[in-house]
A = this chain, B = another copy of it.
Amino acid sequence: MQVNGKHYQTIWLENGTVFMIDQNKLPFSFEILQCHSWKETAAAISNMTVRGAGAIGAAAGFAMAQAFLEAPANSPDYLSEAQKQIEATRPTARDLFYASAEVFKSGDKISAVSRALELAAQNAEEGRMIGLHGHELIAEGTGLLTHCNAGWLAFVDYGSALAPVYESYRRGRRFTVFADETRPRSQGARLTAWELVNGNIPHYLIADNAAAYFMQQGRIQLVIVGTDRVAANGDVANKIGTLEKAIAAKTFGIPFYVAAPLSTFDLEANSGEDIPIEYRDAGELLFASGPCEDGTIETIRTAAPGTQALNPAFDVTPAEYITGFITSRGIIPAKAESIRKLFKNELKL
């Protein structure tokens, strides 16, 4: 994507160093972080400098490739220990496990780097194809709701849920995006809104609480969200709040699509119950950071001192609430049978 007239990917690997847009600094400052070792890259995943299903997949692949580059000769445990630590950074997104396993089994330094680069390129290509298949869902004049950030910042490029938005805009269609703020980390307000401002896409930022209201008012005709992991039966793990939006969409008869790169399908998870849900620090609800009027970044308290918070980062939306998956191979129903067909003739993905 273009930022300040220059093309950027969210994350890339160059001479053994991983470069990434620092998503904790966005939207107030656009900075590139360099990770010189697999441990630095893993830390960037767990502190969410890089976040979003696809982007952390690419990051995990790159980290694994860095581990190959850094591995001392004759230390067979080094790589499996690195893989274990990379996989421990975040539990929910399927891409992370997929990419680290793929690179792990590549066997040597050169193959590892090459496989990691290939996975990252696939990740961007998946987004591009999702855009090409999904844009037709966005009719002229549509009000489209999205939750969290599944834009290009969540991938290597293009994004998942926002890929059809960019493609539709490129084709001159007029529509309005409603972007949920997405508390507690406010990826909607910080990242999706930043992407949409950056891309000139007409949009409104709304409180998470307001989604059902705008559906009831007839302002929203379509929902597209991303996903961190899809189970074999079509259940979807995605950012906390997705379930609530899906239930509201069903109530108001609004189509609810999940943009899902192939790497997010986990055929070994029979249903949503097999997907681990990450709980994050309560501090995400109790404090907020951002720039004051003079530009200095401050952290303020946002809740009553002494209160306790519970902070699940994801939820599972049952397949029955999902109209379809937008994949790089086309749009399919959220049914076990359709998912099986998607991967027919492939041993595993």
The answer to the question of A47 belonging to the interface, with a C-beta cut-off of 8 Å to chain B, is no
Residues of B within 8 A of A204 (CB): 308-310
Complex Cα distance A178/B310, Å?
A: 9
A306 touches B212 (CB 8 A): no
* Chain A interface, >50% SS class: mixed
A288 touches B288 (CB 8 A): yes
Residues of B within 8 A of A290 (CB): 288, 300-302
B307 touches A300 (CB 8 A): no
Count residues of A near B (Cβ-Cβ below 8 Å).
Answer: 64
Against B, the Cβ 8 Å flags (1 = close, 0 = not) of A233-256 are 000000111011001100100000
A300 touches B312 (CB 8 A): no
Complex Cα distance A213/B312, Å?
A: 9
Complex Cα distance A206/B184, Å?
A: 9
Residues of B within 8 A of A315 (CB): 209-210, 212-213, 216
Residues of B within 8 A of A196 (CB): 307
The answer to the question of A193 belonging to the interface, with a C-beta cut-off of 8 Å to chain B, is yes
Residues of B within 8 A of A207 (CB): 183-184, 208, 240-241, 285, 311
The answer to the question of A51 belonging to the interface, with a C-beta cut-off of 8 Å to chain B, is no
Also in contact, A216 and B243, with CB within 8 A (given A181-B303, A285-B189, A303-B190): yes
B205 touches A182 (CB 8 A): no
Q: List 25 A-B contacts (CB under 8 A).
A: A28-B301, A181-B285, A183-B208, A183-B209, A189-B303, A196-B307, A204-B309, A205-B308, A205-B310, A206-B285, A207-B240, A210-B315, A212-B243, A213-B244, A213-B312, A214-B310, A216-B243, A216-B315, A244-B248, A290-B302, A291-B300, A291-B301, A292-B298, A292-B300, A300-B300
Residues of A with Cβ closer than 8 Å to B?
26-28, 178-179, 181-184, 186, 189-191, 193-194, 196-197, 203-214, 216, 239-241, 243-244, 247-248, 251, 285-286, 288-293, 297-312, 315-316
Complex Cα distance A310/B26, Å?
A: 22
B303 touches A205 (CB 8 A): yes
Residues of B within 8 A of A208 (CB): 183, 207-209, 241
Q: From residue A149, how far is it (CB to closest CB) to chain B in Å?
A: 11
Residues of B within 8 A of A292 (CB): 298-300
18 other A-B residue contacts (CB within 8 Å) besides A184-B207, A208-B208, A213-B315: A28-B305, A179-B307, A183-B208, A189-B302, A190-B302, A193-B304, A205-B303, A205-B308, A205-B309, A206-B309, A213-B312, A214-B312, A243-B248, A244-B244, A289-B300, A290-B302, A292-B298, A298-B300
Complex Cα distance A240/B206, Å?
A: 11
Q: From residue A284, how far is it (CB to closest CB) to chain B in Å?
A: 8
Complex Cα distance A213/B239, Å?
A: 11
B302 touches A288 (CB 8 A): yes
B183 touches A213 (CB 8 A): no
In the complex formed, the residue of B with least CB distance to A243 is B212
Residues of B within 8 A of A209 (CB): 182-183, 208, 239-241, 244, 315
A304 touches B212 (CB 8 A): no
Residues of B within 8 A of A210 (CB): 240-241, 310-312, 315
Nearest 3 CB-CB pairings of A with B: A209-B241, A290-B300, A27-B304
